[in-house]
């Protein structure tokens, strides 16, 4: 009599066994567990439906479709019996898609746009911003007396005493954004300014001071035409005539500057541009193709600092790995001698810089390097004023020394462990065969060491290639390169340069160019890591 086997089994208490299929099914859920699952899925689905409605309202149909499909898949996975591995994998895959795949994909997309300062919205928003901000005081227009008043409901209004060329006087009132309407005044001051009207009373000065920002921002229109002149008050006592600086023609899609009649056309690059090359601000975000990459190659103000920063980034990463590895290995060889007394305490002392937070170390070393009162200049060099962090060459030496201080304990730890894993019999055989200490290190220890340590050296290179915190906290990337057209310093590495381009508030933000540089960093690190790991595989094969 044969029995059917449904895969390997695992031994359970009291001799019971459970097959692969049973484990995959997850057993029979309880009623309480089923109710909890349904409630949680219902809440999640309701939130996703709300998000889909918002995306559709914003005309993001692609993302709305992705969210809808993902919601259906999640419900299918958790409502269907079995598929236990999928139930565990689904949350991780969702978070990976949201926080990794989407972020990387969106960053890559931004590299092909002009997204940045003055180009951070769509065209309609840019036109509205230009028309709202493009307002100027009209020369030759009179200044009218104004009184801040409130109506019966306590709403803020503005009472204006208007006088035409013939001397006829009219008193009008309006709230912010409304057209002035004529009213009957009830009180005047000694200068002939209306201070109250039927249904409106003057607001005390102390209350005006509390809402000063609302008062000076208010616009009182002279007619129903939204492009007409309007009144604004700089001091809550006078009304000044303002008018639009730009005139938009939606048919021709042009902007005309009122004061000189200059016409600006859509340049196709996210700006309105005149025939002589003048641009209006703000612009809007558009896809520019490979323009950001072309700028990095053709613009000398970007190409030259980019090349210099790339060379320094490679030098910094390679020298950091090399110096920390050499020092860490040397100390590991020194303190790996069993005859050394107090070996444990020496090892503890060696890892103290690694235990100290890196950002605090950067701040401490920044104070030590201070040219005027730093410990290094005042004590070690007898009061010399050496510009450790402001000289183009010395700042790089300073950074490498600090990174050596921070990085050698890590290399000391991993090389100590690798050295202790080398069989003692192998080293004893080498000594019997007459190998010197240098030969043992070069021909036996180092090759065996690199087999296990090489992947860590590669990751250390990748870390130092993007070691933003040390550069930013120690030198800030300075001293500044004034010949560059982008915000970059002589000690910046690629990642700190990208940060400055993307988030610097002083010189504008260019997310498109920063994203293009991020793609460059990704390919550099990926290529180096690929060939390095291939070399590591070769070392393992040789071993």
Domain parsing of the chain, residue ranges: 30-110, 135-244, 297-542
Residues sharing a CB contact under 8 Å with residue 30, sequence separation 6 or more, in sequence order? none
Q: What is the pLDDT of residue 9?
A: 46
**Cα–Cα distance, 422 to 435 (Å, whole number):** 16
Residue 12 banded pLDDT, cuts 50, 70, 90: very low
**Cα–Cα distance, 42 to 36 (Å, whole number):** 10
pLDDT at 145 > cutoff 90: yes
Q: What is the pLDDT of residue 10?
A: 43
Which tops the pLDDT comparison, 504 or 293?
Answer: 293
Which residues sit opposite 232 in a β-bridge?
240
Dihedral sign of CA atoms 529, 535, 541, 543 in order: negative
CATH 3.20.20.70 holds for 297-542: no
**Cα–Cα distance, 30 to 34 (Å, whole number):** 6
Q: What is the pLDDT of residue 507?
A: 67
Element (H, E) at 25: helix 20-25
Q: What is the pLDDT of residue 226?
A: 63
First to last CA, the chain: 52
Average pLDDT, the chain: 86
Q: Could you tell me which of 130, 165, 119 has the C-alpha nearest to residue 255?
A: 130
Per DSSP, helices labelled H in 134-246 are 205-210, 212-217
- φ, ψ at 195 (rounded to 5°): -110, -5
Dihedral sign of CA atoms 100, 101, 102, 103 in order: positive
Q: Would you state the structure tokens that stand for residue 252, as one six-digit string?
A: 């021709």
How far is the CA of 525 from the CAs of 296, 306, 495, 518, 520, in angstroms? 19, 16, 12, 11, 9
What is the tens place of the pLDDT at every residue in 478-511? 899 888 888 899 999 999 999 999 987 666 789 9
How far is the CA of 488 from the CAs of 497, 498, 506, in angstroms? 6, 9, 12
State how far Cα 278 lies from the chain centre.
30
Asked whether the beta carbons of 258 and 95 are under 8 A apart, the reply is no
**Can you tell me the mean pLDDT for 208-219?**
89
DSSP string, 376-433: IIIIITTT----TTTSTTHHHHHHHHHHHHHHHHHHHHHHHHHHHTS-HHHHHHHHHT
Name residue, tokens 């699952």.
37
**Cα–Cα distance, 327 to 483 (Å, whole number):** 37
HEC per residue, 296-318: HHHCHHHHHHHHHHHHHHHHHHH
Which tops the pLDDT comparison, 154 or 312?
Answer: 312
Q: Could you tell me which of 334, 158, 306, 148 has the C-alpha nearest to residue 230?
A: 158
Percent of the chain with pLDDT over 90: 40
Pick the CATH number of 135-244 from 3.40.1010.10, 2.40.430.10, 3.30.70.20, 3.55.50.30: 2.40.430.10
Which residues sit opposite 389 in a β-bridge?
none
- φ, ψ at 35 (rounded to 5°): -65, -45
Q: Could you tell me which of 496, 490, 491, 488 has the C-alpha nearest to residue 467?
A: 496
Q: What is the pLDDT of residue 505?
A: 65
- Cβ burial of 106 (10 Å; 0-12, 13-18, 19+) is exposed
- φ, ψ at 414 (rounded to 5°): -70, -35
In this predicted structure, which of 2-6, 29-33, 522-526 has the lowest mean pLDDT?
Answer: 2-6
pLDDT at 20 > cutoff 80: no
Does the model's pTM come out above 0.95?
Answer: no
Dihedral sign of CA atoms 27, 33, 39, 44 in order: negative
What is the tens place of the pLDDT at every residue in 338-380? 677 777 787 888 888 888 888 888 999 999 999 989 999 999 9
Residue 63 banded pLDDT, cuts 50, 70, 90: confident
Asked whether the beta carbons of 536 and 135 are under 8 A apart, the reply is no
Does the fold of domain 297-542 match that of domain 135-244?
no
């Amino acid at each position: 009599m044969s029995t059917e086997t449904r895969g390997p089994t695992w031994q359970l208490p009291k001799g019971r066994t459970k097959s692969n299929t049973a484990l995959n099914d997850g057993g029979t859920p309880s009623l309480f567990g089923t109710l909890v699952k349904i409630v949680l899925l219902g809440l999640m689905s309701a939130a996703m439906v709300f998000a889909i409605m918002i995306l559709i309202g914003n005309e993001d149909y692609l993302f709305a479709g992705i969210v809808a499909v993902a919601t259906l898949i999640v419900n299918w996975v958790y409502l269907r019996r079995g598929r236990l591995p999928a139930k565990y994998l689904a949350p991780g895959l969702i978070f990976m898609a949201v926080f990794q795949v989407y972020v990387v994909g969106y960053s890559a997309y931004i590299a092909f746009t002009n997204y940045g300062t003055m180009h951070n919205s769509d065209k309609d928003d840019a036109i509205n911003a230009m028309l709202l901000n493009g307002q100027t005081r009209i020369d030759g227009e009179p200044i009218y007396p104004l009184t801040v008043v409130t109506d019966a409901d306590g709403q803020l209004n503005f009472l204006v005493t208007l006088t035409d060329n013939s001397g006829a006087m009219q008193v009008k009132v309006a709230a912010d954004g409304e057209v002035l309407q004529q009213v009957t005044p009830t009180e005047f001051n000694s200068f002939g300014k209306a201070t109250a009207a039927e249904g409106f009373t003057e607001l005390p000065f102390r209350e005006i001071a509390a809402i000063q920002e609302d008062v000076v921002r208010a616009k009182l229109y002279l007619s129903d035409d939204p492009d007409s002149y309007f009144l604004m008050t700089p001091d809550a006592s006078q009304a000044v005539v303002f008018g639009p600086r730009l005139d938009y023609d939606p048919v021709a899609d042009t902007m005309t500057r009122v004061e000189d009649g200059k016409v600006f056309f859509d340049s196709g690059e996210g700006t309105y541009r005149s025939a002589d090359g003048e641009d209006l601000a703000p612009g809007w975000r558009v896809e520019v193709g490979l323009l950001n990459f072309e700028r990095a190659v053709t613009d000398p103000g970007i190409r030259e600092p980019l090349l210099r920063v790339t060379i320094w980034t490679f030098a910094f990463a390679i020298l950091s790995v090399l110096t920390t590895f050499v020092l860490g290995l040397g100390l590991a060889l020194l303190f790996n001698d069993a005859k050394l007394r107090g070996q444990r305490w020496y090892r503890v002392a060696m890892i103290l810089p690694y235990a100290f937070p890196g950002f605090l170390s950067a701040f401490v070393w920044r104070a030590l390097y201070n040219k005027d009162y730093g410990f290094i200049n005042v004590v070690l060099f007898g009061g010399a004023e050496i510009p450790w962090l402001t000289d183009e060459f010395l700042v790089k030496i300073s950074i490498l020394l600090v990174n050596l201080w921070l990085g050698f304990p890590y290399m000391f730890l991993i090389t100590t462990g690798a050295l202790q894993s080398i069989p003692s019999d192998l080293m004893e055989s080498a000594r019997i065969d007459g190998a010197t200490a240098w030969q043992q290190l070069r021909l036996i220890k180092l090759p065996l060491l690199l087999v296990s340590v090489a992947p860590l050296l590669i990751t250390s290179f990748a870390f130092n290639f993007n070691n933003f915190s040390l550069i930013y906290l120690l030198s800030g990337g300075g001293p500044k390169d004034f010949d560059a057209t982008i915000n970059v310093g002589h000690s910046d590495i690629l990642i700190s340069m990208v940060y400055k381009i993307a988030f610097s508030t002083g010189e504008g933000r260019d997310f498109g160019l920063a994203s293009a540089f991020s793609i460059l960093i990704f390919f550099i690190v990926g290529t180096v890591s690929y060939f390095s790991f291939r070399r590591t595989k070769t070392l393992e094969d040789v071993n």
